[in-house]
């Protein structure tokens, strides 16, 4: 009864296997195939609440410029509310359906978005997810982004390798997450802890706290950990607050002794990477996350081209002082 | 003696003010604000007035609207409940966990509602019997219930990690995401509750006692109102409505999320205050609160329809809330 | 100085409207230097409204106010105070959680380089309190004081302002006779120094005693000014109400049946109180300020807990847990602090009238509004409550009409025992007579009344017996024949019967 | 006539009340709670009493403590300010943006503080002149100032997305992160302000007028207090303190972050209420509020020191806030 469309429902080829995953070679560089006869409108539902999204939005806008010549427009829409919760993005999807977009790309921060995705697909609007999506399957066509759990595993492996190379067999690590109540943060933490323990069974986790994604909390909690664990070896920061954490390490003149591991390539993070306070940060090709969903959706609409796999994973590059120049000029 | 003429004039004025009075005294101002917003939006976007969109807006406001019913009562008594978002989350989560662990729907629902009643009762008990200020009790509960939500969500996928729980029960999914005709079911629940409890507040002894307490607690006590009992009831009822909202949300999203309802307390309180209630108690109406919730829902919807940049949304939602209430305040002062 | 003719204030053609209600309609008033000018009129006649206009609290719609020859239009109370106009308002307006010094000096605190001079203000506060015969630690918070003490503080504040005009709007409504006498002495001294007083009161004896001239308002209109020594009480009443009032109090006819028995009740300031209340009787409770009259009644009504003793109703021992129990058992109480203990200020008048009675007006919890409305209308007529419409908030009523609203709330519950704590507080003379008549009608119907009043004439006229309290002890219970002002005062001050 | 005897008795009652008044009426109970927590912590963890840890705790509470000073005044007048976190953010951000755009430190600071004064003044103006309820005005400002923060943070990196701005000014870094001896500089700022404004509230005309307004606004007006002006001043001063906190935070972290201060309003209000202030006005003290802030800071510190599991952290912060205030409430009721 809901989501009735005035336009006829488009005939579309079936999507790829849901759980199949690859890291595509053309990640971030996928290009449109052919011009569309009728104008095509694609909504990209993103966020702007922190600097992580800068390159994502750049990607979406770049896609818009490329597709302009192919008779398509890309609208970058930020739903109200600072978070990627289902109620925020769900209502944005509903609104996009009501506005008769031809395709929707959305962040799928928690599984609550699934019913909205189903509604869109039922209305003949293909949906791509990007940045995050949860384990729970939906009828979305494909996903572009990092697998958070795998990102956690990667971090655990990288941290373990780091301490092995330093000859420390029982590193003491403090774990900071954004929110205990955000599933994505918990997935990263889970992956990290599992793989760390597997790689270095002697590792000790001296505490798990939440920063509420804020740097001042990161600073405070890191200071507290430093005081109460004089033999601390490192911090793992699963979400926001990494910069505050690194600043606390720096202020206590523990750079090189207490190592910080975190995610993403914000300016401030990269500064600490340069200084060696942040030993490594794990990226996820944010530009591709903004760019690829729109272009791949367009190709699907005009040429019926189906992505190779359900999960088009971006690369979880482990960026350190040594290799950082390959990933941008910081 | 006052002259005949003066009488006539007075009569005229009172009839006028009577008309004003019967048509929603506190509410007419915000209702006008809502209407203005709707008119502007229907000009600005061709999609706004589509049936789907209107029902989307209503569904999106339904959990806030349902909780606003209880919040209206609490605010009318002069209290506040900051824990509604967390209460909602924990009730939905415990129900989902029960279902996931293989319990049938009925006991799961009973435990879910029971959790809401329990957290609400705890608030009411601390506030009325131990006389701890509502702000502190419910701020504490905001944290406690959120912690409990995480606790109930922990361990379902791997040790010591919280995760959202999928809800696949057809009844719950219908309650949250079903339709009757074109109308989403939660919208129907909301309106039914609004009518029942508007009537309740106006026409029952208990309803009137709620206003008496907020207007002058000591006088209410001396007039025979069992103040403590009434307060416990309102907070417990709030807990019940939170549980209902939590279950609706879990049904709609097919998920009980650990972070559902964060920050919702400010939305619900804002809806009630925009709707004309006074935080010092004694004034407020459910109709007004629903209008308040609708204003915020229309606002959110229109940002998406108008593709407004992020920071402009944040700025304008603040500005419009202030504006709506300012106009209403000035209008009331003039009278 | 020719104080007789020099005019300090001259108001003429003043209009003021609230919503649809013309509170002031072309009124005039002139106050000379060094005179006590009384302003009288029925409840809602517009006295307080004019005063608030004088004090910069309300703005007049029309009219001129010449103060010291200048046409003044104050925008705020501060401007009026700076011009030397001090007001003691009808409704207590104290800062409850602040100390005496701050209550006296708020708005004009003494400071040097921005730092408050507590010592200096403490001294001045003591002096101001001395004027009214108060001896209270200046650092005491006002919430610890009784209402009458709070009212004395308000008077002290007005006196401490270097004022040319002091306006007193029922300044002694919570004061006992002794304190009132002290206030009059203060007034006489002020007048000698050339200060003018505008005095509002419903007590005609006082008005005749203290004033030089009297202005009467009626229904928001000016109805005349006369020299006090040229009029009688009846003349004034004639001007106020336009008819003669019958002013005789009937003898009560009560039976021997004991309705309420208080047995060795102790708690708060009162100790070991025992008395019996018979069916259809009015028992007066008399005593000085703070003697504990209100506390006893609050304990009976279960508004406060008591430490020892029992309460029997119709011979049955009762253990009320809260006022609700007491009400259901047939008790009713009109407390003394109308604003804080009785009124739901923002709520409609009808709500205020029905509130105690909703459980009775309801069937299975749902209120029968047509019955509720009928009841309210009945009492509005019976007590001639002056209002615009009963949906207005009760705060829009004048003080006296608010009191009648509270009375009707309790009468509607059809109580067996009615406790009235200062029931004619702020009520005009006509309404007072109506309330007295009503009390007699009630006792005629078999209702028993406990009457607390600080007005001795009222106690004497209305009581069948008078219980007198001295510092929390029951000093004596007098029968009607034994009652006189002198005997009551001698027991109340402890001169007689101190041995208990 | 009143007998001599009666005088003496009154004097007795009042002296009793005076003793209660001068020996920290609201504060002694929560102070005891804080001490108990500290004693438990010093037994439970050998690190708790280390000087570094104590100063860490103090630095951690410094921005909340500084804002609690202004919040105490506002709550004493009977108001509330929900926008403190956003005001803090926007002031810090605009200063950072100025510095980044190459302006010298002095004008950048002036603009930063100016922004705080402006947002605070707007709150005060709407509340006192237009009589809009403080909850709504400051809830609106919470949104507006956050939107402005994002706006000022936008465009530094090309396209219209906000980014945190690095702050590398030595003066700002010292204010936020410097030390004098072993004492962090923000801690010194906090204590200096606490002493000045405790004295101010007790011993100046304006200070007492703030209490008078909260005690009985109408009575205060009748005695000649310029209520509107006093309110505007308190909210504007609050804006100033928020700006100071924003600058401290930017200095400490060397970053002006767009999300700094989110949720802080509840922390600040909680500190003030735990410290004994009444949300209906008239009661509260800066000393109490600082103790309230300290309780929360010690609690957060103890999570790390005691290695508490995640959900237990959330639950216990709520439980302890309620417990501290409950004990205090019961103690005061007994008296
Ligand atoms: N703020 C107000 N709003 C509406 N009506 C008001 C207001 N203040 C006074 N009135 C009305 O104006 C009329 C005059 O009131 P006022 O208080 O001046 O009477 P009064 O002579 O002082 O009576 P009383 O002896 O009972 O104190 C009354 O009918 C009252 O209901
Ligand atoms: N809240 C309070 N705290 C301390 N003492 C109080 C309080 N309220 C009243 N008292 C004191 O208790 C005593 C008895 O008061 P109560 O009101 O019963 O006296 P009363 O005889 O009714 O006199 P009145 O009502 O004329 O003041 C007074 O001395 C009063 O100061
Ligand atoms: Mg009056
Ligand atoms: Mg009394």
Q: What is residue A307's three-state secondary structure?
A: coil
Q: In this structure, what DSSP letter does residue C341 have?
A: I
B291 alpha-carbon distance from chain centroid: 11
Q: List the beta strands (DSSP E) in C149-212.
A: 165-169, 196-200
Q: Which of A78, C317, B59, C280 is nearest to D154 (CA)?
A: A78
Contact indicator for C287, C456 with CB cutoff of 8 Å: no
Query: Would you call C378 exposed, middle or buried from its count of C-beta atoms within 10 A (0-12, 13-18, 19+)?
Result: middle
What value, to the nearest 5°, has the Cα angle with vertex C397 and ends C208 and B206?
135
Q: Do B164 and A2 touch (CB under 8 A)?
A: no
**Strands C448-452 and A311-313, bridge-based pairing:** unpaired
* Residue C455 beta carbon below 6 angstroms from any ligand 2 atom: no
Cα(C294) to centroid of ligand 4, in Å? Answer: 4
Cα–Cα distances in angstroms (integers) from residue A253 to residues A16, A247, D173, in the given order: 51, 10, 16
- Separation between Cα atoms, residue C384 and residue C378, nearest integer Å: 10
The whole-angstrom separation of Cα D186 and Cα D176 is: 6
Cα(A119)–Cα(A127) distance, integer angstroms: 10
For D262-304, write each residue's pLDDT tens digit: 889 999 999 999 998 988 888 899 999 999 999 999 998 998 8
Q: Which tokens hold the place of A10?
A: 């488009």
pLDDT per residue as tens digits for the range C251-291: 667 788 899 999 999 988 899 999 999 999 999 999 877 78
Tokens of B255: 């998920």
Matching residue, tokens 């009340």: D17
| Of the candidates C184, C458, C176, the residue with the CA atom closest to the CA atom of residue C291 | C176
In chain A, the residue whose alpha carbon lies closest to the alpha carbon of B296 is A80
Q: Tell me the whole-structure pTM to 2 decimals.
A: 0.86
Tally of residues, chain A = 330
Mean pLDDT in residue range C325-331: 94
Residue A47 with chain B: CB contacts under 8 Å: 310
CA of C216 to the centre of ligand 3 (A): 13
CB of C47 shorter than 6 A to ligand 1: yes
Distance CA D102, CA D81 (A): 33
Cβ neighbours of B278 in D, within 8 Å: 133
Q: Look at residues C174, C159, C241 and name the one whose alpha carbon lies nearest to residue C429.
A: C241
* Chains linked to D by 3 or more Cβ pairs within 8 Å: A, B, C
DSSP secondary structure string for all residues of A58-125? HHHHHHHHHHHTTTEEEEEE--SSSS--HHHHHHHHHHHHHTT-SEEEEE--SGGGHHHHHHHHHTT-
State the distance between the two ends of chain B, measured CA to CA, in whole angstroms. Answer: 27
Whole-angstrom CA distances from A308 to A10, A20, A293, B329, D34 are 21, 8, 13, 60, 61
pLDDT at D21 (0 to 100): 43
The C-alpha atoms of residue C188 and residue D233 are separated, in whole angstroms, by 43
Residue B11 above 70 pLDDT? Answer: no
Distance (Å, rounded) from C-alpha B289 to C-alpha C91?
A: 34
pLDDT category at D328 given cuts 50, 70, 90 is confident
Q: How far apart are CA A320 and CA A250, in angstroms?
A: 17
CB contact under 8 A, B60 and A87: yes
How many domains does chain D contain in total?
Answer: 1
Q: Which residue of A has its CA nearest to B45?
A: A99
Report whether B251 contacts C355 (CB < 8 A): no
User: Residue D92 in contact with residue D119, Cβ under 8 Å?
Assistant: no
CA nearest to A218, candidates A253, A251, A265, A171:
A251
Residues spanned by the domain of B134: 2-334
Whether C406 and C435 have beta carbons less than 8 Å apart is answered as no
Chains B and A touch (3+ CB pairs under 8 A): yes
Instruction: Tell me what the pLDDT averaged over chain C comes to.
Output: 88
CA dihedral sign of residues A170, A176, A179, A183: negative
Q: Are B220 and B209 in contact (CB under 8 A)?
A: yes
Arithmetic mean of pLDDT, C188-205? 90
Q: Is a pLDDT exceeding 90 seen at residue D313? A: no
Range among A17-31, C233-247, D204-218 with highest mean pLDDT value: D204-218
Please indicate if any CB of chain B lies within 8 Å of the CB of C481. no
> Looking up tokens 């809806």, which residue turns up?
B271
Checking DSSP bridges between strand C465-470 and strand C282-287, what pairing results, if any?
parallel
Q: How far apart are CA C195 and CA B166, in angstroms?
A: 82
**pLDDT tier for residue B310 given thresholds of 50, 70 and 90:** confident
Q: How many CB pairs under 8 A join A and D?
A: 116
User: What pLDDT is stored for residue D6 in this prediction?
Assistant: 39
What pLDDT shows up at residue A13? 83
SS3 content of chain D, % helix, strand, coil (to 5): 75, 5, 20
Residue whose token pair is 């103040």 = B227
Question: Which CATH number characterizes residue B326's domain?
Answer: 1.10.3470
Nearest-Å Rg of the Cα atoms of chain C is 23
- Cβ of C426 closer than 6 Å to ligand 2, yes or no, is no
**pLDDT for position D143:** 92
DSSP-based three-state secondary structure for A157: helix
Sign of CA dihedral A132, A136, A138, A141: positive
Which residues in B lie closer than 8 A to residue C354 (C-beta atoms)?
208
> How far is Cα C38 from Cα C25, in angstroms, rounded to an integer?
19
- Rounded Cα distance, A77 and A89, in Å: 10
What pLDDT band is residue D156 in, cutting at 50, 70 and 90?
low
Q: Count of residues for chain B? A: 335
Q: How far is the CA of B80 from the centre of ligand 2 (A)?
A: 33
Chain C residues near residue B205 by CB distance under 8 angstroms: 358-359, 362, 365, 367
In this prediction, residue C1 has a pLDDT band, given cuts at 50, 70 and 90, of very low
3-state secondary structure of C388: coil
Q: What is the pLDDT of residues C38-82, one digit of tens each?
A: 999 888 889 999 999 999 999 999 999 999 989 999 988 889 998
Q: From D107, D103, D93, D84, select the one nearest D151 (Cα to Cα).
A: D93
C294 close to ligand 2 (CB < 6 Angstrom): yes
Instruction: Give the strand pairing for A142-145 and A311-313.
Output: parallel
Rounded CA-CA distance A223/A250 in Å is 10
Q: What is the pLDDT of residue B16?
A: 42
The H-assigned helical ranges of C89-132 are 100-105, 118-131
Cβ atoms of C25 and C15 within 8 Å: the answer is yes
The number of C-alpha atoms within 13 Å of C104 and in the hemisphere containing its C-beta is 34
**Residue D292 belongs to what H/E stretch?**
helix D286-306
Q: Report pLDDT digits (tens) over A147-188.
A: 888 899 999 999 999 999 999 999 999 999 988 877 788 889
Q: Per mean pLDDT, which range of B247-261, D48-62, D221-235 is the poorest?
A: B247-261
SS3 category, A312: strand
Q: Return the SS3 of C147.
A: helix
Residues of B in contact with D135 (CB under 8 A): 269, 273, 279
Parallel, antiparallel or unpaired: strands A127-131 and A142-145: parallel
Binding partners of B (≥3 Cβ pairs within 8 A): A, C, D
Q: Are C276 and C459 a contacting pair, CB within 8 Å?
A: no
The DSSP secondary-structure symbol of C448 reads E
Q: Per-residue pLDDT for D258 more than 50?
A: yes
Confidence tier at C247 by pLDDT (50, 70, 90) = low
Tell me: the pLDDT tens digits for B125-149? 999 999 999 999 999 999 999 999 9
For chain C, the distance separating the N- and C-terminal CA atoms, rounded to the nearest angstrom, is: 57
What is the C-alpha to C-alpha distance for residues C483 and C480, in angstroms, rounded to an integer? Answer: 5
Output the CA C74–ligand 1 centroid distance in Å. Answer: 20
Q: How many other C-beta atoms can be found within 10 angstroms of the C-beta atom of residue A77?
A: 24
pLDDT value, residue B195: 96
* Contact assignment for A2 to B52 by CB distance below 8 Å: yes
Q: Give the residue, out of C97, C290, C293, C335, with the most ligand 2 atoms within 8 A of its beta carbon, to mutate for a pocket test.
A: C290
Q: What are the pLDDT digits (tens) for B214-227?
A: 999 999 999 999 99
Report the candidate in C184, C167, C229, C195 with the shortest Cα–Cα distance to residue C8: C195
Largest separation between any pair of C-alpha atoms in chain B: 86
Q: Which of D6, D11, D215 sits opposite C95 (nearest CB)?
A: D215
List Cβ neighbours of C408 (8 Å cut-off, separation of 6 or more). Answer: C353, C376, C379, C380, C382, C383, C385
Cβ–Cβ contacts within 10 Å for residue A274, how many? 12
């Amino acid at each position: 009864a809901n989501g009735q469309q005035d336009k006829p429902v488009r005939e579309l080829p079936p999507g790829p296997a849901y759980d199949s995953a690859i890291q595509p070679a053309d990640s971030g560089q996928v290009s449109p195939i052919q011009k569309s006869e009728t104008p095509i409108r694609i909504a990209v539902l993103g966020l702007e609440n922190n600097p992580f999204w800068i390159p994502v939005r750049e990607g979406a806008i770049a896609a818009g410029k490329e597709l302009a010549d192919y008779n398509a427009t890309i609208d970058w829409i930020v739903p109200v509310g600072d978070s990627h919760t289902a109620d925020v993005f769900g209502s944005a999807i509903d609104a996009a359906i009501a506005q008769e977009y031809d395709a929707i790309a959305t962040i799928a921060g928690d599984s609550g978005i699934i019913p909205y995705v189903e509604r869109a697909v039922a209305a003949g609007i293909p949906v791509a997810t990007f940045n995050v999506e949860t384990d729970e399957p939906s009828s979305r066509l494909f996903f572009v982004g990092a697998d958070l759990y795998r990102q956690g595993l990667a971090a655990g492996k990288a941290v373990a390798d780091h301490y092995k190379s330093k000859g420390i067999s029982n590193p003491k690590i403090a774990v900071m997450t954004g929110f205990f109540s955000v599933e994505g943060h918990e997935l990263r933490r889970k992956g990290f802890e599992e793989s760390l323990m597997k790689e270095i069974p002697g590792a000790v986790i001296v505490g798990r706290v939440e920063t509420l994604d804020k740097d001042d909390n990161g600073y405070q909690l890191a200071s507290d950990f430093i005081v109460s664990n004089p033999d601390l070896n490192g911090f793992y920061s699963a979400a926001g607050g990494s910069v505050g954490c690194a600043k606390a390490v720096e202020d206590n003149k523990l750079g090189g002794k207490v190592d910080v591991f975190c995610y993403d390539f914000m300016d401030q993070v990269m500064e600490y990477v340069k200084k060696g306070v942040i030993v490594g940060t794990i990226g996820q090709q944010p530009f591709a996350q903004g760019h690829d969903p729109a272009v791949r959706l367009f190709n699907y609409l005009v040429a019926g081209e189906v992505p190779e796999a359900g999960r088009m994973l971006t690369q979880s590059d482990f960026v350190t002082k040594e290799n950082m120049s390959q990933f941008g000029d910081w | 003696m006052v002259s005949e003429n003066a009488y006539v004039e007075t009569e005229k004025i009172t009839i006028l003010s009577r008309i004003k009075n019967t048509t929603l005294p506190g509410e007419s101002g915000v209702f006008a604000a809502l209407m203005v917003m709707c008119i502007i939006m229907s000009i600005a976007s061709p999609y706004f007035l589509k049936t789907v969109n209107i029902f989307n807006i209503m569904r999106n406001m339904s959990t806030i609207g349902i909780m606003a019913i209880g919040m209206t009562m609490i605010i009318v008594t002069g209290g506040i409940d900051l824990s509604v978002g967390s209460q909602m989350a924990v009730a939905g989560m415990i129900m989902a966990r029960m279902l996931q662990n293989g319990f049938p729907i009925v006991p799961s629902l009973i435990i879910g509602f029971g959790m809401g009643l329990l957290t609400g009762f705890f608030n009411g008990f601390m506030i009325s019997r131990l006389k701890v200020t509502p702000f502190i009790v419910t701020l504490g509960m905001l944290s406690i219930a959120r912690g409990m939500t995480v606790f109930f969500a922990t361990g379902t996928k791997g040790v010591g990690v919280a995760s959202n729980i999928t809800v696949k029960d057809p009844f719950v999914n219908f309650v949250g995401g079903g339709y009757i005709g074109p109308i989403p079911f939660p919208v129907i629940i909301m309106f039914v509750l609004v009518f029942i409890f508007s009537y309740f507040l106006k026409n029952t002894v208990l309803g009137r006692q709620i206003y008496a307490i907020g207007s002058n607690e000591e006088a209410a006590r001396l007039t025979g109102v069992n103040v403590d009992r009434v307060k416990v009831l309102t907070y417990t009822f709030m807990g019940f409505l939170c549980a209902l909202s939590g279950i609706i949300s879990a049904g709609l999203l097919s998920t009980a999320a650990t972070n559902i309802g964060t920050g919702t307390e400010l939305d619900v309180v804002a809806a009630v205050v925009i709707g004309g209630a006074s935080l010092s108690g004694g004034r407020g109406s459910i109709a007004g609160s629903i209008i308040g919730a609708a204003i915020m829902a229309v606002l959110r919807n229109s940002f998406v329809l108008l593709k407004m940049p992020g920071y402009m949304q944040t700025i304008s939602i603040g500005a419009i809330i202030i504006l709506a209430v300012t106009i209403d305040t000035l209008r009331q002062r003039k009278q | 100085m020719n104080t007789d003719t020099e005019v300090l204030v001259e108001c003429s053609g003043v209009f003021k409207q609230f919503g649809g209600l013309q509170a002031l309609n072309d009124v005039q008033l002139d106050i000379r230097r060094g005179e006590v000018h009384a302003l009288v009129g029925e409840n809602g006649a517009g006295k307080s409204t004019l005063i608030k206009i004088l004090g910069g609290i309300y703005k007049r719609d029309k009219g001129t106010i010449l103060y010291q020859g200048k046409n003044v239009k104050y925008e705020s109370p501060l401007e009026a105070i700076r011009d030397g106009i001090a007001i003691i308002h009808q409704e207590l307006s104290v800062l409850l959680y602040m100390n005496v010094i701050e209550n006296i000096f708020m708005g004009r605190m003494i400071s040097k380089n921005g730092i408050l001079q507590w010592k200096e203000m403490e001294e001045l506060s003591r002096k101001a309190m001395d004027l009214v015969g108060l001896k209270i630690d200046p650092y005491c918070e006002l919430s610890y004081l009784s209402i009458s003490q709070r009212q004395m503080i308000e008077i002290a504040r007005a006196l401490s302002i270097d004022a040319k005009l002091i306006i007193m709007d029922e300044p002694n409504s919570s004061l006992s006779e002794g304190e009132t006498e002290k206030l009059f002495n203060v007034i006489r001294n002020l007048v000698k120094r050339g200060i003018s007083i505008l005095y509002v009161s419903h007590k005609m004896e006082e008005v005749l005693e203290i004033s030089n001239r009297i202005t009467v308002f009626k229904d928001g209109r000016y109805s005349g000014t006369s020299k006090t020594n040229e009029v009688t009480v009846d003349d004034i009443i004639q001007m106020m109400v336009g008819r003669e009032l019958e002013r005789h109090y009937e003898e009560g006819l009560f039976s021997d049946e004991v309705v309420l028995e208080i047995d060795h009740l102790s708690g708060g300031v009162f100790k070991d109180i025992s008395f019996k209340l018979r069916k259809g009787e009015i028992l007066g409770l008399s005593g000085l300020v703070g003697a504990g009259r209100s506390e006893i009644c609050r304990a009976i009504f279960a508004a406060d807990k008591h430490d020892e003793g029992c309460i029997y109703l119709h011979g049955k021992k009762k253990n009320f847990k809260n006022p609700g129990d007491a009400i259901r058992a047939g008790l009713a109480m009109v407390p003394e602090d109308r604003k804080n203990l009785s009124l739901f200020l923002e709520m409609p008048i009808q709500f205020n009238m029905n509130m105690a009675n909703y459980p009775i007006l309801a069937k299975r919890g749902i209120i029968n509004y047509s019955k509720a409305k009928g009841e309210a209308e009945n009492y509005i007529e019976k007590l001639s409550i002056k209002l615009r419409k009963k949906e207005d908030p009760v705060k829009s009523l004048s003080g006296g009409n608010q009191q009648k609203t509270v009375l009707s709330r309790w009468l509607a519950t059809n109580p067996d025992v009615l406790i009235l704590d200062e029931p004619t507080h702020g009520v005009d003379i006509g309404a007072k007579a109506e309330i007295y008549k009503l009390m007699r009608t009630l006792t005629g119907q078999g209702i028993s009344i406990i009457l607390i009043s600080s007005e001795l004439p009222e106690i004497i006229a209305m009581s069948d017996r008078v219980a007198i309290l001295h510092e929390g002890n029951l000093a004596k219970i007098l029968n009607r024949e034994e009652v006189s002002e002198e005997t009551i005062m001698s027991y109340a001050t402890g001169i007689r019967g101190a041995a208990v």
